[in-house]
Structures are given as structure tokens and as C-alpha cells.
A and B are shown apart, each in its own frame.
Chain A
């Protein structure tokens, strides 16, 4: 299955290609297995895949009922998050989509106040409402294919809701303005008649999220000139497109020096490729990024160092700019292994540490058990094959991530601007709704 077909190596590209043609349930299973097998790795790839999948899920579920959509997205989201709990961006995107649906549903409810208009608007929707049962049935079919365990539940819930919405439609149209208001708190979002096309709104919202994912690096890079001055020496670690674009943006205007720690053994090849401008072999990066110029082409001196030399060089470094895997609500971050000692060394040398990260990496999860966030990787990267006899005798460890506490970070730069670590919880509450924090 893997290397035989070049362009169809399992990954983000192949997933997006097949997303259109495959039925949505196949795609869900496909993404779950991709996540489980770690064939989609980078935060952004995971986020993009999740967003596209959820868009597919929502457009495939032919209902305008917010509660049904939420339930469906929650169900898919839970499965995705269970597939790879340490890819926190998956959960983030799921939460944001859920938040979108809830927002739309609430807007909708508020819109019901002026029902005279809403009623006239909902007039053309009545036939759709009548179509609903059949659509719901087909949706139920999909559900039964998906998981046998869920089938009875969906069968139970889908039928009453569709019946309810059938009945509630004429009621909403005919009743006085007072009744829906009294009805909606009791039924929350549940039994409320869709007066506009929630699904289309949500799809629009997801498209915005996808746009955000593609533009986030450029948005972050726009702040580069505010943070990098001339003749600075900047230390960075591992290969991150966000950091690279950030530095490139500054390099267009200013001259500085970059010290690049290679993050051996897990990502050094990509780092070397980033530094030297050789074509990255990484299929998971989107094609546009592989055409990015290296910093050296812009006349920036790049010094590649092994990770061990970080402390020795830190006294010369003006700023440390780091990429991250995900950011937690307490301001701490989960980043490539080795980041923590770098941040610590910077702290010891009183060097500011700047983390660049898209808001989509910001997770509402508060870490109580840091170790559970850490993923361990392939030991053969640490001990090579020729030393294979050692593996039987010793315990080889290859952590992929480090937890970096918030006190080591001086500044976060997201696509919304620069923030202190202590401010992150506000951004979290702006982006995620309380009821979605535990999906």
C-alpha cells in the first residue's frame, strides 16, 4: 500500500484527493487510520484534514437541525480524537466547528424574535422540511454503516427529532411570538425549527477556518518586523513553516543571523532541508511550501548547530523563536523534544523566548498530567541498526515532544497578534465555547 504509488502515499494530499470521491464514512475511517498510523503528523496537516472532513460530514448530513449536527460532529470528533489524543489540533478544530454550529443556532433563535420575517423566510424551506424525513433516513443508513454500536441510538434519536421538527414547523409559523421563546429554553436548541439554512452557514464557517489555516503563517509573518531588528542573532529549533515564514518576512527588510538547532534525531532531515533549501521530501507539507526560498537565498547567514551546542551559543543569541506543536490553555506548550532545554537555556541567559503559533494550535485543554501529552517515537532513530544488539540490553528512549511550562515563554505571536502567556486563556474563551471543552 505505501510506497508503490508515489503521489498517493498516505498523507494529507491523498486524503484530500479522495475526500471528494469517497463516501464520507470511508473518509472518516480513512482519516482515523491515518491519524493512528501517524501518516498525518504536522499540526496543520491534521487541522486541515479535520476541517475538510468535518465540512464533508456536515454537507453530507442533510439536516438543518443544529442539535443533530452537533451530535454528528461530536460523534465524529470523538472518534478522531480517540484515534490520536495527542494531536490536540484535531480536538481544537472539532470544538471550533461545534462552536460554529452553536453560534448559528443561537443567532437563529434570536432571529426568531421578529417572526414575521422569519416566517416568510421559512416559507420556501417548508418543502425542505418535508423532505427531511427521507434525508434523515439516508443519513441514518450512513450511520448504521459506520458503527453497529451507534445504530440503535441514532435510530432512536433520529426518528423523534425529525418527527418533532415536522410538527414544530407549522407550529412555529402559526404561533404567536411568545411561544417559541417559551419553547426554546425548555428544548434548548433541540426541538427548535431551523428558520434559515444553518448548514450553509456552518459550511461557510468551516471554509473560513480552512482559509485561516492556509493563511495563518502569512498572518503571523506580518508581525515579523515588529519583533526582529537588524543584526540580531536569532536561535530557532527544528523545522517549522511558521517560523521559517516569519524569518523570511523579516529577512526581506533586515539583515540578521539565524542559528538553527537541528533537532536530531526526529526532524533533522527536514531541518537540514529547510536550512539548505534542498527540496523537502516531506509529502505532508503542502506543495506551496516546498517552493519556499531558504533564508540563505536572501542573504541571511544561517548557522546550523547540533542541539548540544545550544547552551554554548546562547550567550550570543538575542532572541529565541520557536515553533510549537500545540499550545495549552495555561500558556505552556507541547513542542518538539529539545525545546524545553532551549527555552530553559534562554531563560538562564535572560534571552527572550518568542513562540509563533496559529490560534488553531491553541487548545482549551488544561494539562494536569504533562506526561500524558508526550509521545514517544521510534527508538531506531536513536540507536541505529548496526547497534541493534544494544536495543536488547538497554532501554532506548526517543521522546517526540517536550512540555514547556509557561514561565519559560516571554511572548506568543499568533495570527491575532502578540500576547503574554498569561493572556492566552482569554483567547481560548474567545474561540471555544464552554460546553465544548470536553467534547
Chain B
């Protein structure tokens, strides 16, 4: 579904762009109307492509002479950014004229050519805006428009520098992208809320950043958070005049969804939930009063969360906890909320077992799981991915969480899961450890995956560079942080350091100290040929999974497509 959600919003800006573009094109030239439209449209940010295409369309239909009129109107009120746009409009007009001249011979040529050029420009504009930056569109647009009049000189110089800078930058990032995963480096994750569409609700803005920073992390958590945010969006929503809620709300929501997906690619569960929500919206009768429709949708979201996640988790936890027996050693990987719930429930039922948590860089999700389980009084053992073969030696069962289950029965989960499952299945002693996956059916998808390369998510490679907290701990005078660090902190750090050094192996300590001061990777982006790869997920072969515990019962992985079909048809 990760593909379906990004594709869903993309038609909408294009459609929005196409709809207004067609109207002025069909109307014959009226010089006042475009300028008025421009005024109104300049207020809102979204219709930029529409605006652009409108300009070009009107200019094309009016010919070169008419292009001057909207341009004058624009300079009166608009910023340099608008100047650029005007230059583009001129250029589009010129191009249309040229084409018209080329095609001339036919008497009805200009009109048809103009409209087609306008449509093309509108499509291009929408495409570039979807890609993220408007200057990309402007640079592309002005590439051919080198010398028209006074303005173009300045514009062309600017554009040349822009395009030049853009291309070198592109080259550099390309070098840092791992070639095999080239298809996954689509867009940088959004870093700020700046540039987010006006219609994006504050709750969604906040959620986007939380998801990006892994504050809201985990497939179900993200799903629930998205639905709750959308509930607030719907509560705050009022249907604009001249349209109906079921028609307009879907496009309105897709702006929110696009924003969320630029913060972090959507999870399977998010996609499934959004699809269900959109289905519910479209099923509303257009004649229903708005308040009633909104209440219905709020109710729908609540029941979806309750049925698909909250209650489902309880059902899964209780049935998975039955699989735990006294004396078991449960191995789990990273921090799955449903596995945590299962283990806590089994502990509450009075079962005596040990948990061995395997964790991985860079998220260390297992740490919070370990803390939660230890606080509840469980016997917890913790090691990192390098200790798998040691942890699995004593294991009697492996419990795994899931990001998604694909239709070919494979488990799509946090990267490293496959290693744990593999170790469980291929233990040296020849005894296989059962691998049990806990997964709500909302995480089932009709997509299939054979390897972890085609479908995956790339996180920022800088996350892999060793974190700084070590420096604070050691209290060494770090040249960069020294200015910001307070003296008291430094003293405290120094004290703890000397104590640690006295207690532990001093030489090794000093060794790590010197190495932590500057990680050898800090300048990795400057060193050619060096790439860092930080993928989020991997695909575990179906034969490593013995059982999938869902709210519909415990199934073999081969049952995933059937259950998925059942749950989506209902």
C-alpha cells in the first residue's frame, strides 16, 4: 500500500491544476479576468501550479501582445518570485507562439495549440511541485528561455547558477546513495514544517515531525496516531461552498496524507487505515448533513482503532501468552508493542519465564522494552545483534513483532528480524526453535516481496554515526561542545570519568575516549566512494515463520492472503 497512498494524492494536485487551467483557456482572452484570478490565487499556496498554467494558458491564447497586460498587473503587487513566474509565462507564451507558427497553415491552429501548451505546462508544473521544490520547475522552465528582454539576463544568470548548483548537488548525493537501493532514495525526509501546505492541520503537522523523529514509532502506533490526528482534522473541517463532504473531504485529507508521507513513508497499517477511512467517506450519502457525517466518521475512526488495534492487540496478547510456558526462554528482537503486551500478560498470569531481547543500531528500540519488562519484574537478558547466536542457544521460543505480512507469507519487519528468525531455525544442535509472529490483520498487505531490496525504507544515514552522548559522559573537553557545555557539567563528568577509570580498565577506557572524541565517520560525506546504508526493514522468508498470531486466530504464514482478502471484503 505504500505505493497506493503516494499515488492517491498525486492525481489531486494535477486535477486541481487542470481544472482551473481549462476554464481560462476555453474562455477567450479577457485581460482583467486572469489578473483577478491571480490575485485571489496568490493568497493560497497550493494553486501555484494552477496559477502558472493559467498564466501560460491565458498568455498562449491571447498571444504575445496580451501577455504584457497580466505582467504589468503582476509587477505592481508581486515579489521577485513572481517576476520569475512572469518570465516563465512569457517564455511559455513565446514557445506556444513558435509552435503555433510552426503549425500555422491551419486557420484554427492558434487556439488548439495554445490550449494544448497550457495543459502541458500545467501538468509539468504539477509534477514539479509534487517533486517538492518550485525552483526546480522554474529552472527547468527557463532553461530554454535564455534571452528574451531586459529581465531574462538577470533571470538567466540566476537560473544558470541554480541549475548548476542543483546538478552538482544532485551528483554528490547520488554518490552517497547506494546504487542497489537507488529507487528508494525518492525524496529527502522533510526537516521542518516550513513549506507545508496551508491546509495541513496543526495536529498532522506535529504528528509528521513526531514520526520523522521516531517519537511515534512502530506500525500500530503510527496507525493509531494518524487516525486520531485525522479525527481532529475531520472535526475541524467545514465543507466549502459548492461541494459536498464526501467529495471534498477525500482530497482535503490527501493533502494531510502527502504531508505525512514526506515526513516518513507511510506504513502498511497506515495505508490500510487510510484506505478504510476513504472508503467510509465515499460511502456517505452526499445529502447527509455535515455534522451528522462528521459524527459518523469520528465514530468510524474510533471503532476502527478499537476493533483493528486495541481489542485486536488484547486478543493477540491473550492467545500468544498461552504459548508461553513455565521455564521458557523467549527471544525477541527490537521493541514490538504487541510482544511487550504479550510478555507482560503472561507474566501477570504468573508464568515463570525468561526474556532475551536482541537489539540493534541505530534505534535501540529494545532498550525501552527491556526497561518496561524489567520494571514489571521479568527476568530480562539484553544483547545486541552480534550476540544472536549466543542468545538463541538457550531459547525455547522466538516472538517477533511485524511491520507487515506480505501476501506471500513473508514477514516484513525491523531490519535484523530475519537474522533472528534464521538463527532460530538453524541452530547448531539441530533443534528448531519455534518462531511466532504477533501481527494484527491491519498489517496484512496484498503486496508481495521476495527480497528486502525492492520494498524497503531508507533512513538518514547520519543516524549511523556514533552518537555524541558518550562525549558528555566522559567529560573530555570537546572543542566543539566545550563552549556550550556548562562548567558544572564538565566537572561532574570529569569526576565520574576518573572514578570509572580507577575502577575499570584504564587503558581501554582511554582508548575509547580518544576514539569517541571524533568519530572517524564524521566527514563521510566528503570522502568519495564511501557510502552508508541505513535501511529500516528486512523480509524474513516464510519458512522461518511457524505461526502468525492474529486477532482472527493463529495461522500459518501461507494464510495471510486469505485473511487479508477476508478482512478487506468485510
- A337 CA / B490 CA spacing, docked (Å): 35
Q: Does A276 contact B (CB under 8 A)?
A: yes
Decide if A310 touches B384 in the complex (CB within 8 Å). Answer: no
Q: A311-B452, A312-B418, A384-B469 are in contact. Are A264 and B505 (CB under 8 A)?
A: no
Q: A304-B464, A311-B422, A345-B422 are in contact. Are A384 and B389 (CB under 8 A)?
A: no
Q: Does A368 contact B (CB under 8 A)?
A: no
> Which of A320-328, A355-363, A385-393 interfaces with chain B?
A385-393
Decide if B380 touches A394 in the complex (CB within 8 Å). Answer: yes
Complex interface bits, B208-222 against A, C-beta within 8 A gives 1, otherwise 0: 000000000000000
- Minimum C-beta distance from B428 to chain A (A): 6
- Minimum C-beta distance from B532 to chain A (A): 5
Decide if B538 touches A312 in the complex (CB within 8 Å). Answer: yes
> Which of A299, A309, A340: most chain B CB closer than 10 A?
A309
Q: Does B337 contact A (CB under 8 A)?
A: no
- A130 CA / B123 CA spacing, docked (Å): 105
Decide if B538 touches A382 in the complex (CB within 8 Å). Answer: no
- A9 CA / B523 CA spacing, docked (Å): 28
Q: A265-B384, A394-B381 are in contact. Are A312 and B529 (CB under 8 A)?
A: no
Decide if A316 touches B530 in the complex (CB within 8 Å). Answer: no
Instruction: Identify which of A9, A300, A341 contacts B419 (C-beta below 8 A).
Output: A341
- A109 CA / B142 CA spacing, docked (Å): 94
Which residues does chain A contribute within 8 Å of B507, judged by CB atoms?
2-3, 9-11, 37, 39
Q: Does B470 contact A (CB under 8 A)?
A: yes
Instruction: Identify which of A336, A344, A394, A402 contacts B374 (C-beta below 8 A).
Output: A394
Instruction: Identify which of B384, B414, B428, B510 contacts A2 (C-beta below 8 A).
Output: B510
Q: Does B416 contact A (CB under 8 A)?
A: yes
Question: What residue of chain B has the Cβ atom nearest to residue A1's Cβ?
Answer: B506
Q: Does B132 contact A (CB under 8 A)?
A: no
Instruction: Identify which of A305, A312, A344, A380 contacts B453 (C-beta below 8 A).
Output: A312
Q: Does A399 contact B (CB under 8 A)?
A: yes
Decide if B383 touches A396 in the complex (CB within 8 Å). Answer: yes
> Which of A48-56, A132-140, A205-213, A266-274 interfaces with chain B?
A266-274
Q: Does B332 contact A (CB under 8 A)?
A: no
Number of interface residues of A (CB under 8 A): 71
Q: Does A364 contact B (CB under 8 A)?
A: no
- Minimum C-beta distance from B518 to chain A (A): 8
Which residues does chain B contribute within 8 Å of A393, judged by CB atoms?
371, 374-375, 380
Q: Does B539 contact A (CB under 8 A)?
A: yes
Instruction: Identify which of A269, A385, A394 contacts B473 (C-beta below 8 A).
Output: A385
Decide if B382 touches A383 in the complex (CB within 8 Å). Answer: yes
Q: Which of B405-420 contact A (CB under 8 A)?
A: 414-416, 418-419
Which residues does chain B contribute within 8 Å of A163, judged by CB atoms?
none
Q: Does A80 contact B (CB under 8 A)?
A: no
Decide if B386 touches A390 in the complex (CB within 8 Å). Answer: no
- A6 CA / B496 CA spacing, docked (Å): 22
- A406 CA / B514 CA spacing, docked (Å): 38
Complex interface bits, B446-467 against A, C-beta within 8 A gives 1, otherwise 0: 0000011100100000001010
Question: What residue of chain A has the Cβ atom nearest to residue B392's Cβ?
Answer: A341
Which residues does chain A contribute within 8 Å of B389, judged by CB atoms?
340-341, 402
Which residues does chain A contribute within 8 Å of B539, judged by CB atoms?
312
Q: Does A144 contact B (CB under 8 A)?
A: no
Decide if A276 touches B524 in the complex (CB within 8 Å). Answer: yes
Instruction: Identify which of B422, B464, B514 contacts A348 (C-beta below 8 A).
Output: B422
Which residues does chain B contribute within 8 Å of A380, judged by CB atoms?
504
Which residues does chain A contribute within 8 Å of B383, judged by CB atoms?
382, 396-399
Q: Does A69 contact B (CB under 8 A)?
A: no
- Minimum C-beta distance from B131 to chain A (A): 27
Complex interface bits, A272-303 against B, C-beta within 8 A gives 1, otherwise 0: 11011110011100000000000110011111
Which residues does chain B contribute within 8 Å of A302, judged by CB atoms?
529-531
Q: A38-B508, A278-B520 are in contact. Are A341 and B423 (CB under 8 A)?
A: yes
Complex interface bits, B508-521 against A, C-beta within 8 A gives 1, otherwise 0: 10111011100111
Number of interface residues of B (CB under 8 A): 72
Decide if A397 touches B527 in the complex (CB within 8 Å). Answer: no
Decide if B538 touches A307 in the complex (CB within 8 Å). Answer: no
- Minimum C-beta distance from B2 to chain A (A): 17
Q: Which of B165-198 contact A (CB under 8 A)?
A: 178-180
- A384 CA / B515 CA spacing, docked (Å): 15
- A269 CA / B385 CA spacing, docked (Å): 17
Which residues does chain B contribute within 8 Å of A281, judged by CB atoms?
511, 514-515
Decide if A301 touches B531 in the complex (CB within 8 Å). Answer: yes
Decide if B529 touches A308 in the complex (CB within 8 Å). Answer: no
Decide if A398 touches B387 in the complex (CB within 8 Å). Answer: yes
- Minimum C-beta distance from B466 to chain A (A): 7
Q: Does A306 contact B (CB under 8 A)?
A: yes
Q: Does B367 contact A (CB under 8 A)?
A: yes
Question: What residue of chain A has the Cβ atom nearest to residue B175's Cβ?
Answer: A301
Decide if B538 touches A337 in the complex (CB within 8 Å). Answer: no
Q: Does B92 contact A (CB under 8 A)?
A: no
- A316 CA / B180 CA spacing, docked (Å): 9
Question: What residue of chain B has the Cβ atom nearest to residue A41's Cβ?
Answer: B508
Instruction: Identify which of B415, B469, B516, B527 contacts A309 (C-beta below 8 A).
Output: B415
Instruction: Identify which of A276, A307, A386 contacts B530 (C-beta below 8 A).
Output: A276
Which residues does chain A contribute within 8 Å of B384, judged by CB atoms?
264-265, 307, 382, 398
Q: Does A263 contact B (CB under 8 A)?
A: yes
- Minimum C-beta distance from A80 to chain B (A): 20
Q: A278-B520, A390-B382 are in contact. Are A2 and B387 (CB under 8 A)?
A: no
Decide if A390 touches B367 in the complex (CB within 8 Å). Answer: yes
- A399 CA / B426 CA spacing, docked (Å): 20
Question: What residue of chain A has the Cβ atom nearest to residue B463's Cβ?
Answer: A306
- A273 CA / B519 CA spacing, docked (Å): 8
Question: What residue of chain A has the Cβ atom nearest to residue B515's Cβ?
Answer: A269
Q: Does A378 contact B (CB under 8 A)?
A: yes
Question: What residue of chain B has the Cβ atom nearest to residue A300's Cβ?
Answer: B529
Q: Does B534 contact A (CB under 8 A)?
A: yes
Q: Does A405 contact B (CB under 8 A)?
A: yes
> Which of A283, A304, A312, A384: most chain B CB closer than 10 A?
A312
Complex interface bits, B263-293 against A, C-beta within 8 A gives 1, otherwise 0: 0000000000000000000000000000000
A-B contact pairs, 5 of them (CB 8 A): A2-B510, A275-B530, A281-B511, A340-B389, A344-B422
Q: A313-B180, A348-B426 are in contact. List 6 more A-B contacts (CB 8 A).
A: A2-B510, A275-B520, A303-B178, A312-B538, A385-B470, A393-B375
Chain A residues near B (Cβ < 8 Å):
1-3, 9-11, 37-39, 262-266, 268-269, 272-273, 275-278, 281-283, 295-296, 299-313, 315-316, 336-338, 340-341, 344-345, 348, 374, 378, 380, 382-387, 390, 393-399, 402, 405
Chain B residues near A (Cβ < 8 Å):
178-180, 360-362, 367, 370-371, 374-375, 379-391, 414-416, 418-419, 422-423, 426, 428, 451-453, 456, 464, 466, 469-470, 473, 496, 504-508, 510-512, 514-516, 519-521, 523-524, 527-535, 537-540
